[in-house]
Amino acid sequence: MAQECVMKYEPVAEIGGGAYGTVYKARDKDSGQFVALKSVRVQTNQDGLPLSTVREVALLRRLEQFDHPNIVRLMDVCATLRTDQETKVTLVFEHVDQDLRTYLEKAPAPGLPNNMIRDLMKQLLCGLAFLHSNRVLHRDLKPENILVTSRGQVKLADFGLARIYSFHMVLTPVVVTLWYRSPEVLLQTTYATPLDIWSTGCIFAEMFRRKPLFCGESEMDQLGKIFAVIGLPSEEEWPTDATVFRQSFSPQNPQPITDYVPSISKKGAELLLEMLTFNQLTRISALNALEHPFFTE
């Protein structure tokens, strides 16, 4: 990690503040190309940066060598010592003008045509399958983290950063959205790659609806809204290590998913339900989702 490499980049505009601090659009003074700068403050130990951060960054760097078309490129990593206890790590990514949230908002009524949704979903799943095959969880998939270039190319951003941030976040009172969180995360039980598939299902539904599927205001409210659609899971399916009892929710039967996503095709609805499966062990994987008949209908 180079010390003063941040000097290479000239900030042009603030492009958003997330839970992890402000993101800037900047210009590379050498090449003239635009980049996105994301900085995080990391608690420093005696040896400089904590090993966990060095490891996470090394992993992001390794993924970079594959140059996957559906993954946002990490161009540079800069570390600046701020105090003895704190280092500012700046990640320099390629800059993409719009995210999926903006893209959906800009789509003229009645929304995106089916073939376009199919194409976006396929690219999203390709990027996700790549991350999962490299044992990287995204952990925070939502329309704001899915970038869409002017040519309609999908690029996943902000993956692998959740760990860097959560370990060393200088606590900020930013509300992180619950709308795309999987039941296992909401129930604070063990989770793995299927958590990203749940989020992808929520985003899939949103591409048709042009508004989020589950808009909970708290963990319990979010779970309630999910069970109102997919039904209350059985006692056998309920995780034994969940922090919430099944009895906290009223019994509900699953509702037809087409009531919530009316414009989805039959095959699309089948794929969506395989993504929005409560049991993470039976939830479809990214690779299997790519093989689904929805993509060939």
pLDDT by residue (tens digit) across 189-242? 988 999 999 999 999 999 999 999 999 999 999 999 999 999 999 999 999 999
For residue 27, is pLDDT > 50?
A: yes
Catalytic residue among 76, 99, 140, 158: 140
Q: pLDDT of 62-109, one tens digit each? A: 888 888 999 998 888 887 777 777 777 888 889 998 999 999 999 888
289, pLDDT greater than 60: yes
pLDDT surpasses 60 at 172: no
**pLDDT cut 90: percent of the chain above it:** 62
**Does residue 42 register a pLDDT over 80?**
no
Indicate whether 283 pLDDT > 80: yes
Could you give the domains of the chain? Answer: 4-94 (3.30.200.20), 98-156+177-292 (1.10.510.10)
| Whether pLDDT at 7 is above 80 | yes
Burial (0-12, 13-18, 19+ Cβ within 10 Å), 250: exposed
- For 98-145, what is each residue's pLDDT tens digit? 999 999 999 888 889 999 999 999 999 999 999 999 888 888 899 998
Q: How far apart are CA 190 and CA 241, in angstroms?
A: 8
| HEC-encoded secondary structure of the chain | CECHHHHHEEEEEEEEEECCEEEEEEEECCCCCEEEEEEEEEECECCECCHHHHHHHHHHHHHHCCCCCCECCEEEEEEEECCCCEEEEEEEEECCCEEHHHHHHHCCCCCCCHHHHHHHHHHHHHHHHHHHHCCCCCCCCCHHHEEECCCCCEEECCCCHHHHHHHHCCCCCCCCCCCCCCHHHHCCCCCCCHHHHHHHHHHHHHHHHCCCCCCCCCHHHHHHHHHHHHCCCCCCCCCCCCCCCHHHCCCCCCCCHHHCCCCCCHHHHHHHHHHCCCCCCCCCCHHHHHCCHHHCC
The reported pLDDT for the residue numbered 54 is: 73
For residue 171, pLDDT beyond 50? no
Span of 14-23, 173-182, 188-197, 253-262 with lowest mean pLDDT: 14-23
Residue 151 pLDDT greater than 80, yes or no: yes
| Structural contact between residues 27 and 33, judged by C-beta atoms closer than 8 angstroms | yes
Amino acid letter for position 240: T
Q: Would you place residue 173 in the very low, low, confident or very high pLDDT band (cuts 50, 70, 90)?
A: very low
Q: Which pLDDT score is estimated for 62?
A: 80
pLDDT value for 40: 76
pLDDT of residue 20: 58
Average pLDDT, the chain: 87
Percent of the chain with pLDDT over 70: 88
Q: What is the structure's pLDDT at 79?
A: 77
Active site residue 158: no
Output 61-67 pairs: Cβ under 8 A, ≥24 positions apart: 62/134, 63/130, 63/131, 63/134, 63/136, 63/160, 66/130
The predicted-structure confidence for 43-54, as pLDDT tens digits, reads as follows 776 666 666 677
